[in-house]
Structure 1
Amino acid sequence: MENQQSSNTNLKVIIGILAFLLVASLAYMYKMSSDAKETQTTLVDEKSKVMSELEALKVSYDKAIAENTSMSDELIAERDKVVKLMEELERSKGDVKALQKYKQQAVALQSKNTELLAQVDNLKKENTKLTTERDSTATVLVESKKYNEVLIGQNEELSKTVEKGSKLSVLNLQTRGYKERSSGKQIETDKASRADLLKVNFTIAENAIAKQGDRTYYVQIIDSKNNVLGDKQTIAFGDQSLTYSFQKVVPYENKSVNVSEDLKGGKFEKGTYFVNIFDDKGEGVSKSSFILR
């Protein structure tokens, strides 16, 4: 009888210990789950913060580029770095190590942005000063009606500055592969075997001093085997000739214009493609590249 009571007591002790261990395990699992959720939330918030900072950088570059200064090419190159980092960040899984790397790159891009915008501001001040000097010179010429070599030289230099400033900038050149369904719906793809058309998009920047009217652009798309796609028409510019994929006539009224054109094809090669845009004088105004896998 005593043995039975002792066995019951031992059994109760064992049950108690097991119950305690079970409760402790459940508490530990709950804490681990809560910590993991908190960490994930923090990572999502950090990623969103970095993305917002990069978007703000892109907006500041777009605004500066639209002003069409002589620094446009450098600004476009830096803006493209920001866009590339945004795309990489969007595709990232958001682990701590990767997020730290993107944050460091974003800080570096912000520093470069501050430096370039300061240069743009100085350039704008110089341009304002130059414009004032030009107006002053013109007034003197009208009043005195006398031309001398010094004034003529200044006027020619100022005319060159105005001519350079009146040129139109082509921005945001992007080309993507698409699969067009029978319904007409277009699905973006980076696979050469699926793509049956290329969509070319670009923007002609606003320029208050440029002449209004139709502008003709020649778009050249070269595949990975150095073949020009599309129409393959050739046009001469003096001693030079250009073979282009298609031409696009764009009505221009001093405002920004978004341009989009599709280039259909039967079979596209895998590899890197190069896209070049030329104006009606045969001068290159924009270029980019993309990859079909």
Structure 2
Amino acid sequence: MVAIVALLATNVYFYVKYKNTGDQVYELTGEKVNMQAEIDRIEAEMDRLTNENVEINAALKASQDSVQSAIASLRHQLEQNNLTREQLTEAQQEINQLKLQVSQYKEEIEQLKNQNARLTSERDELKREISSSSERVAELEDLNTDLTDKVKVASALKISDIVVNGVKERNSDKENVETRARRTDKLKITFTIADNPLAERGMHDVYLRVIDPNGNLRTADYGLFEVNGNQIQYTYKT
């Protein structure tokens, strides 16, 4: 009778022990599955942040590498069988720390994106200002060129009262006005230069061009003068 009671007690003991052990294993397995799911979510978030196409600095790159290394380490730990409560607790602490690290990394990425957006906006605004300034400079240069041309035209000497006479030379050094071309030895040209306060002060050369009835320039020395960048022959310079 005593032996039967002892056997029953032993069976009850082992039943309770194995039941508790089974419950504990089931509980630990559930925690491990939940941790693996958390790691999956963390890795997915890191992949999303990595695909933001933001140029990161060395510090952020180091943080990114650290997170990826921690994820790989945790996955390896959770792949082990028969993990103890202490090991799972330690793994959960590492996951919590990893969450914090990813959260900080996310904040830094957002700050970097905002900074990049601000710099892009400032760059575009600066480009618009430079473009506007360039256009204004071009307008002022055109205006200055136009004014310079107008001043140049306005400052030109104006000639009026032009009189051309054929002259016949006499032995007595006297000159008689001739109306017939065949009896003319030379031409006497007189003109008046109008006063122009815009003209440059000083001596000025006056170039004369005499064209014959056939449209040919009458010239002896083939001298040239420049007008608006063009070389033009003249008959006489005074």
Q: Report the TM-score when normalising by structure 1.
A: 0.41
- How large is the RMSD of aligned CA atoms in angstroms? 2.3
Higher relative contact order, structure no. (Cα contacts within 8 Å, ≥ 6 residues apart): 1
Q: Name the counterpart of 2:20.
A: 35
> Percent identity at matched positions?
20
Q: Name the counterpart of 1:183.
A: none
* TM superposition shift of 1:73: 1.8
The whole-number CA distance in structure 2 between the counterparts of 1:38 and 1:137 is 68
* TM superposition shift of 1:21: 2.3
Q: Name the counterpart of 2:70.
A: 81
Contact 1:64 1:117 in 2 (8 A): yes
Can you give the 5+ residue segments of structure 2 that lack an aligned partner in the other structure? 138-238
- Determine if the alignment matches structure 1 residue 136 to structure 2 residue 121: no
- Partner deviation per Cα, 1:171-196 (whole Å, 9 max, x = no partner): xxxxxxxxxxxxxxxxxxxxxxxxxx
Matches within 5 A, 1:117-132: 117-132=106-121
Letter in 2 for 1:41: Y
The whole-number CA distance in structure 1 between the counterparts of 2:84 and 2:17 is 17
- Determine if the alignment matches structure 1 residue 112 to structure 2 residue 104: no
The whole-number CA distance in structure 2 between the counterparts of 1:47 and 1:147 is 70
| Selected match of 2:45 from 42, 60, 70 | 60
Structure 1 residues 93 and 24 mapped into 2: Cα distance closer, same or farther (>3 Å)?
Answer: closer
* TM superposition shift of 1:146: 5.5
* TM superposition shift of 1:37: 0.4
Letter in 1 for 2:100: S
The whole-number CA distance in structure 1 between the counterparts of 2:112 and 2:105 is 10
The whole-number CA distance in structure 2 between the counterparts of 1:123 and 1:114 is 14
The alignment partner of 1:67 has SS state of coil
Letter in 2 for 1:21: A
- Partner deviation per Cα, 1:30-86 (whole Å, 9 max, x = no partner): 111110000001110111111111121111111111123314523133223212221
- Partner deviation per Cα, 1:217-236 (whole Å, 9 max, x = no partner): xxxxxxxxxxxxxxxxxxxx
The alignment partner of 2:106 has SS state of helix
The whole-number CA distance in structure 1 between the counterparts of 2:97 and 2:27 is 23
Letter in 2 for 1:125: N
Letter in 1 for 2:125: S
Structure 1 residues 107 and 119 mapped into 2: Cα distance closer, same or farther (>3 Å)?
Answer: same
* TM superposition shift of 1:137: 2.1
Structure 1 residues 128 and 139 mapped into 2: Cα distance closer, same or farther (>3 Å)?
Answer: same
* TM superposition shift of 1:19: 2.4
- Partner deviation per Cα, 1:127-167 (whole Å, 9 max, x = no partner): 1111222222222333342699xxxxxxxxxxxxxxxxxxx
Matches within 5 A, 1:140-289: 140-145=129-134
Structure 1 residues 147 and 114 mapped into 2: Cα distance closer, same or farther (>3 Å)?
Answer: farther
Q: For structure 1, which segment, 60-69 or 136-145, has the greater mean C-alpha deviation from structure 2 after superposition?
A: 136-145
- Determine if the alignment matches structure 1 residue 46 to structure 2 residue 31: yes
The whole-number CA distance in structure 1 between the counterparts of 2:108 and 2:76 is 27
Letter in 2 for 1:114: S
Letter in 1 for 2:120: T
Q: Name the counterpart of 2:5.
A: 20
* TM superposition shift of 1:18: 2.5
The number of aligned residues is: 133
Structure 1 residues 130 and 147 mapped into 2: Cα distance closer, same or farther (>3 Å)?
Answer: farther
Can you give the 5+ residue segments of structure 1 that lack an aligned partner in the other structure? 1-14, 149-293
The whole-number CA distance in structure 2 between the counterparts of 1:119 and 1:41 is 40
Structure 1 residues 126 and 147 mapped into 2: Cα distance closer, same or farther (>3 Å)?
Answer: farther
The whole-number CA distance in structure 2 between the counterparts of 1:29 and 1:93 is 20
The whole-number CA distance in structure 2 between the counterparts of 1:111 and 1:92 is 27
The whole-number CA distance in structure 1 between the counterparts of 2:74 and 2:133 is 58
Q: Report the TM-score when normalising by structure 2.
A: 0.50
Contact 1:141 1:147 in 2 (8 A): no
The whole-number CA distance in structure 2 between the counterparts of 1:98 and 1:88 is 9
